[in-house]
């Protein structure tokens, strides 16, 4: 039995690897098409992205279901019609941002500056030279914001490797175009982030995804316990970093990166309260532009012991 298992597992892994390799030419062809579209006038790229977003809303049933479940959990007082309007708009924003990130990954600095403006930069300048964490929640314009600020000074951020090697290469190469920007692999933990912060490089940090129970606390997000990583508070404590929130929004003409005042007395002594403070700030920004938050992610996948899975068919609240 053990011998059979030892033979089967490598075979299954080899088959998975072969599937990924065989799909790479199609991925590279798709990337070439996306790069070509990105060279079109901006409004044309925008309309293509929005049209594909509507198509995804109609066809991507699983992601549509996740998005609606998240909105029901976070906005129980909304009507179902309002949730569906916001969810549809979210798909349009999401796919538009996906097409437009290829502009930011290949366009000239002049085009990038024209498409994305910075506001509230004085909140960053007030702490320039100190170790600094830029809290960048998962609004769909997040890539554009990071690329725009990267034109001004060196920046570091984290990324997760994709299943496709070609997509991972395109993503990391695109995000490291200017000023010696650094991309840190998420699986390497916090040690590389500590180093870049101590080197004086601002860290563009995206800590609001459900990455499992490890190094996380269950902290309310719109009143629902959500597994929330404590890494921002721990990084701030270890490095003496100041936290400056940085939120990117989309409009009809491009993007706006807005910096907020640095948080005082953060993280303090209470890790739970520091993490709750982060979620509360994100909630405020979500209420300002609800369709632009990443609702298609399973934000409440990890549950406290004994709680049901919101995303299982048994837990479906439709």
State how far the Cα of 222 lies from the Cα of 72, in Å rounded to an integer. Answer: 11
Report the pLDDT averaged over residues 5-28.
56
pLDDT averaged over the chain?
91
- In sequence order, what are the residues at sequence separation of 6 or more whose Cβ sits closer than 8 angstroms to the Cβ of residue 257? 116, 117, 118, 119, 144, 145, 148, 149, 246, 247, 248
Q: How many CA atoms lie within 13 A of 140 on its CB side?
A: 26
Report the pLDDT averaged over residues 92-109.
97
The residue among 189 and 46 whose pLDDT is bigger is 46
pLDDT at 316 over 70: no
Q: Identify the pLDDT of residue 318.
A: 39
Q: Identify the pLDDT of residue 23.
A: 81
Report the pLDDT averaged over residues 58-85.
98
The residue among 90 and 20 whose pLDDT is bigger is 90
The neighbour count for residue 24, using CB atoms within 10 Å, is 13
pLDDT-based confidence at 16, cuts 50/70/90?
very low
**What global pTM score does this model have?**
0.89
Report the pLDDT averaged over residues 6-10.
43
What single-letter DSSP state applies at residue 118? E
pLDDT-based confidence at 159, cuts 50/70/90?
confident
pLDDT in tens, 261-293: 999 999 999 999 999 999 999 999 999 999 999
């Amino acid at each position: 039995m053990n011998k059979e298992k030892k033979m089967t597992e490598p075979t299954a892994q080899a088959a998975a690897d072969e599937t990924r390799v065989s799909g790479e030419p199609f991925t590279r062809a798709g990337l070439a098409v996306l790069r070509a579209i990105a060279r079109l006038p901006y409004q044309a790229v925008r309309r293509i992205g929005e049209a594909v977003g509507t198509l995804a809303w109609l066809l991507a049933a699983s992601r549509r279901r996740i998005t609606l479940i998240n909105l029901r959990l976070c906005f129980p007082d909304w009507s179902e019609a309002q949730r569906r309007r916001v969810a549809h708009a979210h798909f349009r924003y999401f796919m538009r941002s996906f097409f437009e990130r290829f502009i930011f990954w290949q366009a000239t600095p002049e085009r990038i500056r024209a498409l994305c403006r910075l506001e509230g930069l004085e909140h960053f300048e007030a702490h320039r030279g100190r170790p600094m964490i830029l809290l960048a929640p998962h609004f769909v314009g997040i890539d554009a914001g990071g690329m725009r600020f990267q034109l001004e000074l060196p920046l570091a951020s984290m990324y997760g490797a994709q299943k496709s090697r070609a997509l991972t290469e395109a993503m990391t190469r695109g995000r490291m175009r200017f000023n010696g920007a650094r991309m840190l692999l998420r699986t390497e933990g916090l040690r590389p982030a500590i180093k870049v912060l101590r080197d004086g490089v601002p860290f563009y940090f995206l800590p609001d995804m459900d990455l499992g129970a490890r190094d996380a606390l269950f902290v309310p997000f719109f009143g629902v316990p959500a597994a929330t990583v404590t890494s921002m508070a721990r990084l701030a404590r270890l490095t003496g970093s100041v936290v400056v929130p940085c939120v990117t929004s989309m409009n009809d003409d491009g993007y706006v990166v807005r910096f907020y005042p640095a948080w005082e007395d953060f993280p303090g002594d209470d890790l739970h309260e520091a993490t709750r403070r982060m979620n509360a700030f994100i909630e405020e920004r979500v209420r300002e532009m609800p369709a632009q938050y990443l609702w298609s992610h399973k934000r409440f996948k990890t549950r406290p012991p004994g709680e049901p899975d919101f995303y299982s068919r048994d837990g479906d609240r439709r």
